[in-house]
Amino acid sequence: MIRAFKLEWLKIRNYKVFWILLGMYLLALVVISSFGVFFLEWLKAKGADFEGIDPTILPIYDFPDIWQNTTYLASFIKVLLGFIVIISINNDQSYLTMRQNVIDGISKREFLLSKLSLILFLGFVSTTFLFAAGLINGSIYSHVQGTTYIFDELEFLAAYFYDIVVFCTLAFLLTILIKKTGFVIIALTLYSLMFEPILGLFLEYQPQIQDTYWPKLLPYLPIKSLNNLIPVPFPRYFFQEIVDDVPMSAVAISTGWLSFYLGSIYFLLSRRDLK
């Protein structure tokens, strides 16, 4: 795996586009994880009130809830990491360097591993970054301190990491299938941010099918299963409804999808003539 990552590292180390995109993504992470306070202030200024509760006193940055809150929000911009993966893989396809790499002496499996190592790297960087941002924000705003609180519920960071890995592997598969950067980016964005969520709403709320077995399929959809890894944290503040575990069913379904993506990529790559 180290050898596989070294190959990828040699490709990205001096690739400006990669670092600019990653920088922009990390900047977006900072914004998402740190501007909650200002968002609540904004809500207050707009006159929002929740049954007489001043929004600014909502303890969104309290340990350990902060982990679920920030990973939930950060998960929305994982599509940007998907773009980085798409560009990186498509470069190797359009420059014919994937072919040259194989000619020079790697197997297609090693190529797959090198891209997987890139995905793991991106997941690791994002998670570490979010962890650091959480520590800083928490130490400023949290009403409770101390290691028992800080290191509780870190499983949400693990879920966030896994979310990124599975999502980027989907991006990998789409790039191998579609081959055109622009198309893949549009397809991935539309599907994950629009088509599947709308399909989800339809399945859940369409009166005619509400009593059929269709809504039961919802948790099995590729994006929905990833989104289910980190349950929506905010109801706890309004309805005292607390879901603060990573649901194992979502982990199992996502793992199913991950195996499907990797298997398909391997199948496609090993059958494909690289010309």
Q: How far is CA 273 from CA 109, 139, 267, in A?
A: 14, 54, 12
3-state SS, residue 53: strand
**Of 51 and 104, CB closest to other proteins:** 104
Binder among 1, 96, 144, 232 for other proteins (CB under 8 A):
96
Q: Of how many residues is the chain composed?
A: 275
| Residue 100 sits in the site that holds other proteins (CB under 8 A) | yes
Phi, psi of 102 (to 5 degrees): -65, -45
**Of 6 and 143, CB closest to other proteins:** 6
Helix (H) or strand (E) holding 38: helix 36-45
Residues 17-46 binding other proteins (CB under 8 A) are 17
Binder among 16, 52, 207, 211 for other proteins (CB under 8 A):
16
Q: C-beta of 89: minimal distance to other proteins in Å?
A: 13
Interface stretch with other proteins, choices 57-65, 96-104, 147-155, 247-255 (CB under 8 A) = 96-104
Residue type, 32: I
The pair of structure tokens assigned to 233 is 């944290």
Interface stretch with other proteins, choices 64-72, 119-127, 221-229, 266-274 (CB under 8 A) = 266-274
3-state SS, residue 68: helix
Binder among 24, 102, 120, 199 for other proteins (CB under 8 A):
102
| Residue 271 sits in the site that holds other proteins (CB under 8 A) | yes
- What angle separates helix 16-34 from helix 36-45, to the nearest 10 degrees? 50
Q: Rounded CA gap, 73 and 142, in Å?
A: 18
Q: C-beta of 78: minimal distance to other proteins in Å?
A: 25
| Residue 95 sits in the site that holds other proteins (CB under 8 A) | yes
Phi, psi of 54 (to 5 degrees): -70, 120
Binder among 24, 26, 43, 99 for other proteins (CB under 8 A):
99
Sign of CA dihedral 241, 244, 247, 248: negative
| Residue 52 sits in the site that holds other proteins (CB under 8 A) | no
Q: Rounded CA gap, 236 and 65, in Å?
A: 10
Q: C-beta of 148: minimal distance to other proteins in Å?
A: 46
Binder among 11, 34, 197, 219 for other proteins (CB under 8 A):
11
**Of 46 and 271, CB closest to other proteins:** 271
CB-CB contact of 103 with 191 (8 Å): no
CB-CB contact of 126 with 160 (8 Å): yes
Letters for 109-138 (x = contact with other proteins by CB under 8 A, - = none) are -x----------------------------
| Residue 84 sits in the site that holds other proteins (CB under 8 A) | no
Q: Rounded CA gap, 164 and 33, in Å?
A: 16
Binding site for other proteins (CB under 8 A): 3, 6-7, 10-11, 13-17, 91, 95-97, 99-107, 110, 271, 273-275
